[in-house]
Chain A
Amino acid sequence: MTTVAGREPLSILADSSAGLSQILSALKAFEEAGSCTREVTLGLSSNATVDLLGVFLRKHAALDGLRLTIHLGGLDDPSGDIEIFRACGVEYTLLLPLFDSLIPSFEAQIGRLSPEAVASKEAEVAARYRLIFSQAGTFRAVFVGTFHRIRESAEPGAPDDVDASIARLNRALREAADGFPNIRIIDLGEVVTAVGHAAAFDMRFYFRNRAPYSTAFLNELARRIVVASRGFASYFYKALVVDCDNTLWGGAIGEDLLNGIKLSPHEYPGNIFWEVQNELATLKRRGVLLCLCSKNNPADTDEVFACHPDTVLRDDDFILKKVNWADKASNLSEIAAELNIGVESLVFLDDSAFECGAVRAELPTVRTIQVPAVLSQYPQVVVGIKELFLAGGLDEQSRSKTEQYRLRAAAEEHKQHFASTDEYLASLNLRVKLSRDAVDSASRLSELTRKSNQFNLTTRRYTDSDMLALLESAEVTVYSLAVSDMFGNSGITGVAVLRWSGETAEVEAFLLSCRVIGRGIEFAIWPMILRDAAARGCTRFVASFSPSSKNAQVAGFWDKFGLSPRISDDLSPTATDDAVRRYSAPIDRVSCPPTSWIEVISC
């Protein structure tokens, strides 16, 4: 890649002390080098001048390997901007309404305006955003900044007219956004607090150019938006793998022993590690899969989690533990394999520069984070880790995921007591609840389509609004399945999208969470779906397999129904691995593999 004054563009962009002109030069070099993994488009609409935000958004996108193209809207025309963004196929939109510019110097005017005049302005703004949100369904996500003040209150401690009006408007914004799953509210007041009020604004250019924000504010806002979008959907982390010594406690358990390691909430530096353990325990409760990967004797680390008086994390907080002397990259690969997720879903936290370097070299898609050398900065680094998992939003069902994975682990153990797999399966009391068009679960269903990689026949990703449209369409039935067995209820763990057109029933998508595969559930639901198809007068069954880098395990899925593939886009009889396999057969010729041990309940 071209360097800028002898430095790699990305290292300049990652350097928080780089000035604006260096950032601009580095961005130019990065974008011209063409080494980005993906291109993303974002429309930016505001009633203030925020063009410079585009530079910082591009900077943070570049750090995630993306080339971001910004479409700038006109000044104070969100409805018009949305229309233009939609017409040119923009994927993401960012709306930043500034309170003070709703009418000229609103903050200064409000004290002399009648309550009725203020109320009518507020009502107009709320109505405008309700309308905008209803027209914004085609965007993958619409980020909306909340209203905030740019001048500090003269009456600290008591909310004034400005605070009251801003609070009402923000409530109205959130209410308007309710029911539109692609609208994401970004709290700009929190950005002001994070940067500091005095540092957040640069009034020199506000009166001249309506540009109120400082570069510090714009940089922090851009960073938060990119994190909240999970790097514009370039990552979706599921598991956090942590080292032990000097990561979960100070010192080395093998050398300092149980009484020597630092973990006291009342003493430095134990209090830092204790705080970090609390944060990790919270993450686990929010559905993040917590794993251990440490070069130690397992008995030593077990003793800490069982016996240390100050340990917050306990043995059962970890879904998997790799405490051994093998190299960490191999352990991380095993963790990913055992959890049935890709290594790119892992975040790895370790204090050793050597271990972090080795993992970065061998598994570059793992997000590797090193405990900072200056220990007081450690909690801030953990805040960054929390953002990686939480800032993109979490679905209710994702929260108890550790429990579900644990049920699966318990099932593995149960399996070992049976002579044959069939005998084992029969003992599980497997039940599948098959629902049609479960509108209430729309966001969980679309989340599943975005997260499932391995058991996914067509790897079609649906946004929340795509999914809502499918659920409401008469030509499509979205089947969702929930599995329960003697170990518990897995929640919604599979989706099949069937498109009915005339006499044809076509499987547009079929995917299962890896947590439920290997028990015949993937076959058990089809007799009922085929009955639905027949009842609709369909006589032909059409399905396909589109290969991705992750779904090789289901390449022959439809063959198991007695169907033979036609390889598309390939005239030679020798099928290449990357060709789409298409299946088409009379419905009565589709024979579902037997799954007598599963009870399917339709609802």
Chain B
Amino acid sequence: MLNEATLRQVMSAVLNVAPSAIEQNSSMDTIGTWDSLRHLHLILAIEDEFKVSIPDDEAGNITSYALIKLVLQDLLKDA
């Protein structure tokens, strides 16, 4: 099961915004600090936190909260 509060916390720490600023429709387009470099940091931080390994294809593309959630739910479904 994905703990969304934890995910929001990780995203807020890496993107340097308040946890409340991370919403269901947040994405690279809506959060100014979320650039391609921060995205790299975000993927690494999510992997650290949830002890998962995000596949290469998805790592570069999950540039919205909804997509990250989807991929994480999938990776965590057997955990």
Contact = CB atoms under 8 A, between A and B. Distances in A.
Given A25-B13, A205-B59, A208-B60, A20 B40 contact: no
Nearest to B41: A52
Interface residues of B, number: 18
A51 B36 CA distance: 12
Interface in A132-157: none
Contacts of B48: 19-21, 215
Given A25-B13, A204-B56, A204-B59, A20 B36 contact: no
B9 interface: yes
B45 interface: yes
A246 interface: no
A20 B59 contact: no
A21 B59 contact: no
A294 B10 CA distance: 47
Contacts of A51: 37, 41
A282 interface: no
Given A19-B48, A204-B59, A208-B60, 4 more contacts: A21-B48, A25-B9, A202-B44, A211-B40
A24 B36 CA distance: 18
A211 B44 CA distance: 12
A480 interface: no
Contacts of B43: 204-205
Interface string A187-206: 00000000000000010110
A429 interface: no
Interface residues of A, number: 18
B14 interface: yes
B47 to A, nearest CB: 8
A49 interface: yes
Interface string A562-593: 00000000000000000000000000000000
B29 interface: no
A219 to B, nearest CB: 11
Interface of B: 9-10, 13-14, 16, 36-37, 40-41, 43-46, 48-49, 56, 59-60
B41 A20 contact: yes
Report whether over half of chain B's contact residues are helix, strand or loop; otherwise say mixed.
Answer: helix
A539 interface: no
Given A21-B49, A205-B59, A208-B60, A215 B13 contact: no
Interface in A49-71: 49, 51-52, 55
Given A204-B56, A204-B59, A205-B59, A21 B40 contact: no
Contact of B44 (A22, A25, A28, A52): A52
A204 B54 CA distance: 10
A201 B49 CA distance: 19
A52 B45 contact: no
B46 to A, nearest CB: 8
B43 to A, nearest CB: 8
Contacts of B49: 19-22
6 contacts: A19-B49, A21-B9, A21-B49, A24-B16, A49-B40, A55-B41
Interface in A209-238: 209, 211, 215
Nearest to A4: B13
Contacts of B16: 24, 28
A52 B40 contact: yes
A24 B14 contact: yes
Nearest to B36: A209
| From B13, B16, B36, residue with most partner A Cβ within 10 Å | B13
A204 B49 CA distance: 18
A380 B10 CA distance: 32
A378 B16 CA distance: 39
Contacts of A25: 9, 13
Nearest to A208: B60
